[in-house]
Structure 1
Amino acid sequence: MDDFIFGKNSVRELLQSNRSINKIFVVKGFKDKELLQLARQKKVIIKTIEKKKLDSLVEGKNHQGIVASVSPKNYVEIEEIIHKGTEGEKFIIALDSLEDPHNLGAILRVADGAGVDGIVIPKNRAVPLTSTVAKVAAGAMETVPVAKVTNLGRTIEKLKEAGFWVTGADSQGSPFYTTDLKGNVCLVVGGEGKGITRLIKEKCDFIASIPLKGKVTSLNAATATAILSYEVVRQRENERS
């Protein structure tokens, strides 16, 4: 329940505030066109769902046909992450279609520990910041900036223009310990099972893999992110020594 605000007046007030909104759900035939137009002006995703599903989101409360999923923390613009601070090499993690909130929470904890400057997530087909993510992150959500972008491919191109080397995590790449992860780094990690999408993979400068010696064919996203993030840390420390 903590992630949802419902009812026409409450959602209207939410849209007029500066609070980050993940998505708005409405029932089919929702008639308040002015409210929907306000949501579109704010560039909030609107999804039409069955009334039964809407009822379940708010445990049967009177939602008046509209429910907003809100973030426990405001997102930042990608430019804020790119230009965060003035000294040293930057490190950004981009998540492609990650759908498990527990993985996202764990990745936030890894990012905090590894000194990551920020995380990028797409608006569509990906888990947003929620109370579940915050619980798993155990405080790291407050320390690691998160940008939610409309088009991850264009964002990666923007990062490359800003001087970042983009490395994707994929089983078909070179072993991660042979990949140059120094300089301004953007590490791209894919979602559960599917990995990085083809279009995003094509935009990467390098593809790095984590060699597996046992019978499992892949690691979960949080574990892979931890291994690769601390390889970035290791290479930077070696360069300084």
Structure 2
Amino acid sequence: MIEVLLADDQTLIRAGFRALIDAEPDMHVVGECGTGAAVVRLAQRHRPTVVLMDIRMPDGDGLTATEAITANPALAQTKVIILTTFELDEYILRAIHAGAAGFLVKDTEPEELLRGIRVVAEGEALLSPSVTRKMLQQLAQHSSEFHFPPGFDQLTSREREVLALVGEGCNNTELAQRLFIAPLTAKTHVSRVMTKLAARDRSQLVVMAYESGLVRPGQATASHAD
């Protein structure tokens, strides 16, 4: 069962998300709140699978709350999905560095919201091509040289290849197809890369792939539609 915590300062939005999620047989809402401080407390209490996190909230914004949740070892299995709008693109890179597993726009279709929750619950990154492009623009603007994360020199040539493909947006099935290996083997490779780089999730691997120069802007896969 996927347990979801809702954090949004608009009661109607929370009510809509709750009705949608609770109607699914494999997920349910364990709590909801409208402030940054409250979502951190509720996350510690319920230890949900996924937190749907708004950015702009009173008493501590969503980014600060995300940092607090992802920094807590007791919440290592909790994934955060940022609820964003196109007006908040400047926060994307900070949110990923803070440990966000992905992004959803608030007016996303219901089936896409549910799919996104399941994808993140399974450990995948939720980065649409449009969000990835904007993240790359930010990286290009703020980074004049490559940055190699701790542990990068421990990666084997195959693991660097895996990291590059994750950076391009490949999931485990696509990784397996590109590398001509079994999906389970692809998953194992990704897990080893995450361990060596101390990455919380695949979204952070995407950033590391670009910051280290393994993937360049314009190289991301176009296999996923906006």
TM-score, normalized by length of structure 2?
0.30
Q: Comparing both structures, which one devotes a greater share of its residues to strand?
A: 1
- Higher Rg: 1
Q: Comparing both structures, which one devotes a greater share of its residues to helix?
A: 2
Higher relative contact order (CA 8 A, sep 6+): 1
TM-score, normalized by length of structure 1?
0.29
